[in-house]
Structure 1
């Protein structure tokens, strides 16, 4: 089953100001800043992976319609390109999706993150699954932040 996604969480382009010090290393945004419309949740290392062309990448964060991967080089992916039949693998479920490469940016010190927008899903149940997973991780993150010490 194919279903189009991305309308509620796609990256939006806005004008860049002189004070803007965007940290994007590579982004196909024609001189505009990329602004995220939804909350991405951090993913514990090794819990979720993205597989494509025989390579496995660690997912650093995810949202309903996007993922962030740990990458070692700004040339790891081509900004603006679409990757077909990518597999997002959870411990007990996996999904096939198509993604568009949005940016490669600095992440936590000297590491890099590659932001990808999910533009198509090939598996039924993806939206329900991701709604539950994102909600559970978000609740876990927010409850650990608000616990008194």
Structure 2
């Protein structure tokens, strides 16, 4: 019976495109400055914001996007799990905008602690954190 359950779980993980190691990782949550009025975003809107194509929140406030380095495991998980893109695809979009002069890349931070501090202190900020890094200085934005 245990083997059957493990086999079914493995099959579900493979169908979802996740390895067992990825499934065991804590979720990466979308977080914003506490002054942001938006509480929920669609995946498409979130993807447009992180691709730097949408520069304002739905209420018109400017979005300040913060990301971890491309090789950071939390950045890779956020891109794949929440945005359904690979980190290199985001980088290509940012490079294209910067080199063409039509936009700018997001603000980079080196750690999740720095991410939390910058989001908490920057009006309109948006980023992502694992649950253990959350505190009352940032708010979680749900994705539908």
Q: Same fold (TM over 0.5)?
A: no
TM-score, with structure 1 as normaliser = 0.30
More relative contact order in 1 or in 2 (CA 8 Å, sep 6+)?
2
Instruction: Report the structure, 1 or 2, having the larger helix content.
Output: 2
- In our comparison, the structure showing a higher alpha carbon Rg is 2
Instruction: Report the structure, 1 or 2, having the larger strand content.
Output: 1
